[in-house]
Structure 1
Amino acid sequence: MRLLIIEDEKELCLTIADGLRSNGYEVDTCFDGADGLELATIEVFDLIVLDLNLPSMDGMEVLTHLRQENSETPVLILSARGQINDKVGALDTGANDYLTKPFHFEELEARIRSLTRRKFIQTDIILSAGELRFNTQTRVATVRDTDLVLTRKETGLLEYFMLHPQRIISQEELMDHMWDTNVNSFSNSIRVHLSSLRKKLRAGLGYDPITNKIGQGYIFKELPV
């Protein structure tokens, strides 16, 4: 999952980003409203965390412009403005959730999980595919109750495939959702991480649920072909 945090308190922004990255998310950060809006409209994100008190462009203005271009990406407002009219105004403008500062990181992450599951029409915290299970809360994958030892990137890839079973996923889509803006589009990173993930799945399941579609991408299937 790829997230964008638009927050002018740099230390808070980077702390949130580090916490989310440690739990398997790819995170881009921005400390300015206008810059954040530009990034949000040219890149693909699975969720945006947006502050309201921003330099150069207020968060409400960012949200208004964003919803004119993009009505689908979930937006979680994270703001010190705690009045009911602030919350109602943000939700009516198109925000999907509103969390008031100060906050507990665990609650922020839980709300992010809820919004991203909702986007992918997934209500249960456990994703299942045959004997494979993935807990979106603990970020642990298991086969027949045995944990798979996966890297952070492998974990993110597996979750994305399990959220989109039976659908061809191109390398470009994986790049958009699983890598931040610092990765070169010509990098071999996707193939390296994907190859490692597939070896571990094959060892645990006895087959590889990820199949190559030449010239198109990859498809995740619950049962061996």
Structure 2
Amino acid sequence: MRILLAEDEADLNRIITRKLTSDGYCVDSCYSGSEAIDFLETVDYDVVILDIMMPELDGYGVLRHMRNTGKSVPVLFLTAKDSVAERVRGLDSGADDYLTKPFSFEELAARIRVMTRKRFDISVNMLQVGDLMLDTVSHTVKRGENEITLSVKEYNLLEYLMLNKGIVLSREKIEDHIWNFEYEGGTNVVDVYISYLRKKIDGNCQDKLIHTVRGRGYMIKEKV
């Protein structure tokens, strides 16, 4: 999933970005509210994490802009403001969650998973397509009884396909959600990683799960 992090404390920003990236998320980070809006006007994020006290435009202003422009992406406020009144204000202003500093990264990761489940209308951390199972907590993947080892990007791509089971995803949409602005790879990167996944997921299996829809993109679905 692709996450936008807006946090003006440089050290904390780097730590959170590094942790989320190591957990397999694609992260764009910035340090002010105005930068956050610039990112939001370019990319359709899956989760947005906002500090409240930021220069130029605070987190409330960013959230207000998002909701006024029709962006329904889940938002988590990450802030040192820990009073009940501030938490109520944050949630009433349209945020989906509110986490106060200091915090544990395990809790942050769990809250992101909750927001992701809501966004994709799923109720559990286990995704399934046919006999293919993906655990979003442990990041383990199995097809039948066989555990499959994936790279971080292969896992990210598979998770995104499974979250959108039965939906055709264009190459552009996949690239926007799996790679951030720092990526400088080739233009056929999606095709390359789809090929990697096919070898590991479908291999010699009779029932193929990953499908190409000519002229439109890729999708994952079980045999009907």
TM-score interval, normalised by the smaller of the two chains: over 0.9
Distance in structure 2 (CA, Å) of the matches to 1:129 and 1:196: 18
CA-to-aligned-CA distance 1:135-164 (integer Å, 9 cap, x gap) = 011111112232101010010111111111
Report the 3-state secondary structure (helix = DSSP H, G, I; strand = E; otherwise coil) of the residue aligned with 2:41: helix
Q: CA deviation at 1:186?
A: 6.0
The corresponding residue for 2:136 is: 136
Report the TM-score when normalising by structure 1.
0.94
Quick one: structure 1 residues 57 and 222, their matched pair in 2 at CA, closer, same or farther if it must change by over 3 Å? same
Q: CA deviation at 1:41?
A: 2.4
**Unaligned stretches of 5+ residues in structure 2:** none
Work out whether residues 199 and 208 of structure 1, in 8 Å CA contact, stay in contact via their aligned partners in 2: no
The corresponding residue for 1:39 is: 39
Work out whether residues 66 and 72 of structure 2, in 8 Å CA contact, stay in contact via their aligned partners in 1: no
The corresponding residue for 1:208 is: 208
Work out whether residues 143 and 205 of structure 1, in 8 Å CA contact, stay in contact via their aligned partners in 2: no
**Unaligned stretches of 5+ residues in structure 1:** none
Report 1:80-119 matches (<5 A). Answer: 80-119=80-119
How large is the RMSD of aligned CA atoms in angstroms?
Answer: 1.6
Structure 1 position 50 matched with structure 2 position 53: no
The corresponding residue for 2:70 is: 70
Report the TM-score when normalising by structure 2.
0.95
Distance in structure 2 (CA, Å) of the matches to 1:89 and 1:204: 55
Distance in structure 2 (CA, Å) of the matches to 1:92 and 1:204: 52
Residues 43-52 or 67-76, more deviating = 67-76
Distance in structure 1 (CA, Å) of the matches to 2:37 and 2:152: 28
Distance in structure 1 (CA, Å) of the matches to 2:204 and 2:4: 34
